[in-house]
Amino acid sequence: KAGVTQTPRYLIKTRGQQVTLSCSPISGHRSVSWYQQTPGQGLQFLFEYFSETQRNKGNFPGRFSGRQFSNSRSEMNVSTLELGDSALYLCASTPLDLNTEAFFGQGTRLTVV
Amino acid sequence: SQQGEEDPQALSIQEGENATMNCSYKTSINNLQWYRQNSGRGLVHLILIRSNEREKHSGRLRVTLDTSKKSSSLLITASRAADTASYFCATYEMDSSYKLIFGSGTRLLVRP
């Protein structure tokens, strides 16, 4: 079956703009999580959605938001972009069992200039 | 926040040698997972070891888990140049839904 699909793969934005990233999970997976990866902070949890509800949120400012649709696809939005938001954003989908692996997409590389 | 540290941060070995990476974590866990990441791309799941397991094998990979020391190790035997990547351990928070906490990672370079 198809893996986790993230679009776009690369993005360049200007400070102050906003950006929307998309993630399509593996068919049948209802949990979608987002992570930010930077050289300085490593992999940081952003938020997790299940059945269109945000169940968990990481320690990020309110400029970072997300949502999940009824088909489990998820989007994350970053408003008022800052240079420090430049990162690889990874999406993961997970089946309902916590004792299984998370499946990651290839990520969206966001560069803020 | 990081779950813990991985050791070493970087490792350079010759093809054919074994590579060992260590991971420490801070909280109680259900399981611990290892992932590989090639050059800033997505994470690929390697192996999952449950909290009641002490050792697990998958091909050239061997993972151990010591819950009393809150540590795990990943051994890659007979390494290949294609094993060059960053390796991360990760655990789910016990009281959380699908929030993976990652270690800081080990960058492995396998020289041909």
For chain B, what percent of residues have pLDDT higher than 90? 77
Contact A109 B30 (CB under 8 A): no
Buried b / exposed e across B4-34, counting CB within 10 Å, b at 16+?
A: bbbbeeebebeeeeebbbbbbbeeebebbbb
Q: Per-residue pLDDT tens for B32-86? A: 999 999 987 899 999 999 999 999 999 999 999 999 999 999 999 999 999 999 9
What's the average model confidence in pLDDT over A24-53? 93
Chain A residues in contact with B1 by the CB 8 A cut-off are 44, 59
Contact B1 A59 (CB under 8 A): yes
Interface of A with B in 9-68 (CB under 8 A): 31, 33, 35, 42-45, 48, 50, 55-56, 58-59
Look over chain B and give the mean of its residue pLDDT values, rounded to a whole number: 91
Beta carbons of B65 and B74 less than 8 angstroms apart: no
Beta-carbon-side half-sphere exposure of residue A49 (alpha carbons within 13 Å): 23
Residue B50 DSSP SS3: strand
Q: Please tell me the distance in Å from A97's CA to the nearest CA on chain B.
A: 9
Chain B residues in contact with A101 by the CB 8 A cut-off are 33, 45, 48
Buried b / exposed e across A74-107, counting CB within 10 Å, b at 16+?
A: bbbebeebeeebbbbbbbbbbbeeeeebbbbbbb
Q: Closest partner residue to B42 among A42, A45, A104, by Cβ?
A: A104
Chain B residues in contact with A105 by the CB 8 A cut-off are 42
Beta carbons of B77 and B67 less than 8 angstroms apart: no
Better pLDDT: A39 or B55: B55
Q: Closest partner residue to A48 among B33, B40, B97, by Cβ?
A: B97
What's the average model confidence in pLDDT over A32-38? 96
Indicate if the pLDDT at residue A97 is higher than 80.
no
Confidence band for B1, pLDDT divided at 50, 70 and 90: very low
- Which positions ≥6 away from B76 have C-beta within 8 Å? B18, B19, B20, B60, B61, B83, B108
Report the chain A residue with the minimal C-alpha distance to residue B45: A101
Q: Which two tokens stand for residue B61?
A: 């990979």
Cβ burial, residue B76 (10 Å; 0-12/13-18/19+): buried
pLDDT recorded at residue B18: 98
| Closest of B82, B93, B102, B83 to residue B34, by C-alpha | B102
Confidence band for B92, pLDDT divided at 50, 70 and 90: confident
Beta-carbon-side half-sphere exposure of residue B7 (alpha carbons within 13 Å): 9
Indicate if the pLDDT at residue A98 is higher than 80.
no
Indicate if the pLDDT at residue B2 is higher than 50.
no
pLDDT recorded at residue A96: 72
Beta carbons of B53 and B62 less than 8 angstroms apart: no
